[in-house]
Chains A and B, each alone.
Chain A
Amino acid sequence: AAGVIQSPRHLIKEKRETATLKCYPIPRHDTVYWYQQGPGQDPQFLISFYEKMQSDKGSIPDRFSAQQFSDYHSELNMSSLELGDSALYFCASSRATSGREDEQYFGPGTRLTVT
C-alpha cells in the first residue's frame, strides 16, 4: 500500500539558511500533520492542515510556515535556521471521512542537520 512520502530524506543546512520540506500524503488522505522529533525526544506536534486550511497549530516557531496545496501535498518552510532546529521532521496523514480519521500514518521523516 502507498505510504506517506517525504523529501528530502536528509538535509544539511548552515545557520541562518532556509529549508523547505515536502510531504505527500497517502492517496485520498485529506489531513496532514507535521511533527518534530529532537534527539532522544518524543515527537512534538507543529501544525496540521485539513482540506488546505490550517486546522491546528502547536509549538511551531514563527520562523516556520507551512501550507497544504490543492493536490493535498504539504510543505514546511523553515527560515533563519538555528542549531536547535536539527531534528527529524515527520509528516503524517489521515482521512477525515474514513471512519478511522483518528489514525495518523507517518512518513519516513526528513533528517535536518543545521551546522
Chain B
Amino acid sequence: RKEVEQDPGPFNVPEGATVAFNCTYSNSASQSFFWYRQDCRKEPKLLMSVYSSGNEDGRFTAQLNRASQYISLLIRDSKLSDSATYLCVVKRGNNRLAFGKGNQVVVIP
C-alpha cells in the first residue's frame, strides 16, 4: 500500500467554481504535511504547509485530520492558471518526503 493515497482525477472544474480533494496517509508517525503544485514536466512547488488547526492562503484552504489520517485542499474561485497537479506530501521524522500521485486539476473556461 502506498504511503500517501490520492485520487488522480482528472478533476474538471468550471472557471470560478470551487474544487476540493483529499488524500490519506498510512504512517501515523508522520509529522508534517504539505500541498505541492506541479505543472507538466516542471518541479514541485510548495503551495502550503498544512497545520492541525487548518490554514488558509488566499483562495486555498488546507485541513488536516490526524485522527482519520487525511489531508484536504479546497480551491475557491478557480482560475485557469490553477490547472496543475496537486501533490499531497507527508514528511516523516527522517525528513524525507513521501508523495501521493497527485490530483490533476483542469480548470475549464
Which residues of A are in contact with B by a Cβ distance under 8 Å? 31, 33, 35, 41-45, 48, 55-56, 58, 88, 90, 92, 94, 100, 102-109, 111
Nearest chain A CB to B43 CB, angstrom units: 4
Contact A108–B42 (Cβ < 8 Å):
yes
Count A/B pairs, Cβ under 8 Å.
Answer: 53
The range of chain B's interface size is: 20 to 34
| Contact, CB under 8 Å: B96 / A106 | no
Chain A residues contacting B100 (CB-CB under 8 Å) are 42
A108 to B42 CA separation, bound complex (whole angstroms): 6
A107, B43: Cβ atoms closer than 8 Å: yes
Q: List A contacts of B101 (CB < 8 A).
A: 41-42
Q: What are the interface flags for B9-50 relative to A under an 8 Å C-beta threshold, 1 for contact and 0 otherwise?
A: 000000000000000000000011010000001111110010
- Residue in B42, B43, B91 whose beta carbon sits within 8 Å of that of A102 in the complex: B91
